[in-house]
């Protein structure tokens, strides 16, 4: 027999072919979308030109001319607009990242608490969910902001909790004086996270092979802490701190957390965690009861049943809807403009009032939230694939 390769099948380009028709339809749809976008953009630019309205993004290099009350990077009013937008972006990411972490922790605890054998714990978790998810988020932000600015004492009579001051001016905390050693400590902590992920994978493999549960949480925390200390020591072990002090009219020194940030973060976390709790509860209920009964028959305590048997199977139901809640939290942070937190929306409003470039500033806002949403979706999709239960 000859070892001739099989003849290649020639693709016939005919309208009778479903594949050919599919390509034609996609090209036609894409062309229509491109035309609509071009028409809207051209029509907008032409109308602006006729009315003498300036357009373009050249204003980003001009001095902003306004101050920003809360920044994560050095900024002055003489800096260009692009730097002001960058400050607003960092403030938005600050709320979103910290909010997602806190929401995940609180929402998971509440969702698991709904299955507690203690009636008081179940009732408190149920009351929390029903209270915070049924009050509009904007009202919650305003409520927390008013509570912080109206009920707390003034800055000259701030509450002192062992060197931590709380007043209408916000929260003042002790903070280290930044030095290169802190950067090395951060790198060490990142390396510790990588080692923890590797260790968790090894522990899961040993559990699958032997059936014996492996401790993961405490060793992972230990890796992060130890490697962070090693990086701190290699960086010169900086130990200088800035402590807040009570002055005649205000609290000076230390790290300041404004009431606007506290209100935004607290409102978003409390609101979104109520929805996350319901997602976790639904995911746990989707796991067949026989799984918990089988693990109980094997002698696993109730806590290990939830952590090793129920929650891993519930993740495939939990992750997709919880991704939507993360996206909602990030997009709801735009409501921070109502209480004066300088996020990207607030910076854009100020830029619009000063430059009149409304289309450009709105486009920047859209790009920022599109970037954050796609990044969050990409990370959660990767985690969803990694956490999927492999069928044998």
d(CA 220, CA 207): 16
Q: Domain limits of the chain?
A: 81-156+267-387
- Compute the CA torsion angle 176, 105, 332, 127 (nearest 10 deg): -130
The β-bridge partners of 160 are: 165
Q: Are 329 and 107 in contact (CB under 8 A)?
A: no
pTM, rounded to two decimals: 0.80
Using the 8-state DSSP alphabet, how is residue 35 labeled? H
Using the 8-state DSSP alphabet, how is residue 362 labeled? H
Q: Provide the 10 A C-beta neighbour count for residue 125.
A: 21
What beta strand segments (E) does the chain contain?
A: 159-160, 165-167, 170-173, 175-176, 241-242, 245-246, 251-252, 255-257
Give the pLDDT confidence score for residue 38 in this predicted structure. 87
List per-residue pLDDT tens for the chain, 392 residues long: 456 665 555 556 666 777 777 888 899 999 999 999 888 877 877 776 777 666 778 888 888 888 888 888 888 889 898 999 999 999 999 999 999 999 999 999 999 898 888 899 999 999 999 999 999 999 999 999 998 888 888 877 778 887 788 888 888 888 888 788 888 888 989 998 888 888 888 887 887 777 676 777 788 888 898 998 988 888 888 888 888 887 777 777 777 888 899 999 999 999 999 999 999 998 888 888 887 778 777 777 777 777 777 787 888 888 889 999 999 999 999 998 888 899 899 999 999 888 888 888 898 999 999 999 999 999 888 888 877 666 55
Q: Are 155 and 250 in contact (CB under 8 A)?
A: yes
Give the pLDDT confidence score for residue 66 in this predicted structure. 86
Give the pLDDT confidence score for residue 5 in this predicted structure. 60
Give the pLDDT confidence score for residue 390 in this predicted structure. 61
d(CA 376, CA 372): 6
Under CATH, what is the fold of the domain 81-156+267-387? MetI-like fold (1.10.3720)
- Compute the CA torsion angle 71, 77, 79, 80 (nearest 10 deg): 100
102: Cβ contacts below 8 Å, ≥ 6 apart: 265, 269, 273
Query: Burial letters for 167-198: b for 16+ Cβ neighbours within 10 Å, e otherwise?
Result: bebbbbbeeeeebebbebbebbbebbeebbee
Query: Burial letters for 309-345: b for 16+ Cβ neighbours within 10 Å, e otherwise?
Result: bbbebbbebbbeebbebbbbbbebbbbbbebebbbbb
d(CA 193, CA 224): 6
Give the pLDDT confidence score for residue 18 in this predicted structure. 77
Question: Within its chain, how far is the Cα of 318 from the centroid?
Answer: 17
Q: Is the dihedral of CA 299, 305, 310, 313 positive or negative?
A: negative
Dig out the tokens for 91 from the structure.
């403030």
């Amino acid at each position: 027999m000859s070892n001739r390769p099989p003849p290649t099948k020639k693709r016939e380009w005919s309208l009778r072919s479903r594949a050919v028709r599919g390509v034609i339809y996609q090209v036609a749809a894409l062309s229509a979308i491109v035309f609509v976008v071009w028409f809207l953009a051209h029509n907008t630019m032409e109308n602006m030109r006729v009315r003498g309205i300036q357009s373009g993004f050249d204003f980003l290099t001009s001095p902003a001319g306004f101050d920003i009350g809360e920044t994560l990077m050095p900024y002055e009013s003489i800096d260009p607009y692009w730097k002001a937008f960058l400050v607003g972006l960092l403030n938005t990411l600050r709320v979103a990242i910290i909010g997602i972490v806190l929401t995940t922790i609180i929402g998971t605890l509440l969702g698991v608490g709904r299955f507690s054998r203690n009636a008081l714990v179940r009732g408190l978790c149920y009351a929390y969910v029903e209270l915070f998810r049924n009050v509009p988020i904007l009202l919650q932000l305003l409520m927390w902001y008013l509570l912080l600015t109206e009920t707390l004492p003034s800055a000259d009579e701030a509450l002192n909790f062992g060197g931590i001051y709380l007043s209408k001016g916000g929260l003042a905390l002790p903070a280290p004086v930044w030095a290169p050693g802190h950067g090395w400590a951060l790198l060490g902590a990142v390396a510790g996270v990588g080692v923890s992920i590797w260790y968790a994978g090894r522990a899961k493999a040993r559990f699958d092979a032997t059936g014996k549960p492996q401790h993961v949480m405490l060793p992972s925390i230990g890796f992060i802490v130890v490697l962070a200390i090693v990086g701190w020591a290699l960086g010169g072990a900086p130990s200088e701190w800035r402590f807040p002090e009570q002055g005649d009219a205000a609290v000076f020194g230390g790290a300041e957390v404004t009431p606007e940030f506290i209100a935004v973060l607290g409102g978003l976390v409390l609101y979104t965690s109520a929805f996350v709790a319901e997602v976790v509860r639904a995911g746990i209920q989707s796991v067949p009861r026989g799984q918990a009964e089988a693990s109980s028959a094997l002698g696993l305590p109730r806590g290990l049943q939830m952590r090793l048997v129920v929650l891993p199977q519930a993740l495939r139901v939990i992750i997709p809807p919880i991704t939507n809640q993360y996206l909602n939290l990030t997009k709801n942070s735009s409501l921070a403009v109502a209480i004066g937190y300088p996020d990207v929306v607030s910076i854009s409003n100020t830029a619009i009032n000063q430059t009149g470039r409304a289309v450009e500033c709105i486009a920047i806002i859209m790009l920022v939230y599109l970037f954050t949403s796609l990044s969050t979706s990409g990370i959660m999709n990767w985690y969803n694939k990694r956490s999927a239960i492999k069928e044998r």
